[in-house]
Amino acid sequence: MRIGDVAALAAVSVRALRYYEEQGLLASSRSPSGQRHYAQGAVERVKLIQSLYGAGLSSRTIADLLPCVDAQVSTPESRALLAAERDRIDRQIAELTRTRAKLDAIIEQTSRPNPHCDYTTEPGRVEAST
């Protein structure tokens, strides 16, 4: 598969794919004319990389974990790293849940009409009436 095809199917930029290669996260072969070609599983790998980035893992951590993913085995060290990342994500989820609850409370408190506030239709702008 060519780089543009992988990028389109994985919904990432071509630049991101090149970066993943630079970081050792993704491999390609080259045609005689120098074009990158990827294996059929490249799209799923890119989606996995994107998920791990989205969860806050660094490219270094992802590079450390991908050989275990590829071999479908882990070492005590890689399991410890995975567990630590999972725990970090759990803490983030808990913090986000608390923040959402605070926002819900603010929305509830501010959803009652207030005769002292005149909200304009312009987004982000609030004018107080006198």
Give the model's pLDDT for residue 123: 58
* pLDDT at 121 exceeding the cut of 70: no
* pLDDT at 126 exceeding the cut of 60: no
Nearest to 23 by CA among 46, 4, 51: 46
- Structure-block tokens of residue 53: 């980035």
Partners of 126 in the β-ladder: 119
What pLDDT, in 10s, does the model give residues 61-76? 999 989 888 888 888 9
Question: What 3-state class would DSSP assign to 29?
Answer: strand
C-alpha 15/C-alpha 32 separation (Å) is: 21
Question: Mean pLDDT of all residues in the chain?
Answer: 89
What pLDDT, in 10s, does the model give residues 91-103? 999 999 999 999 9
Looking at residue 33, its amino acid is S
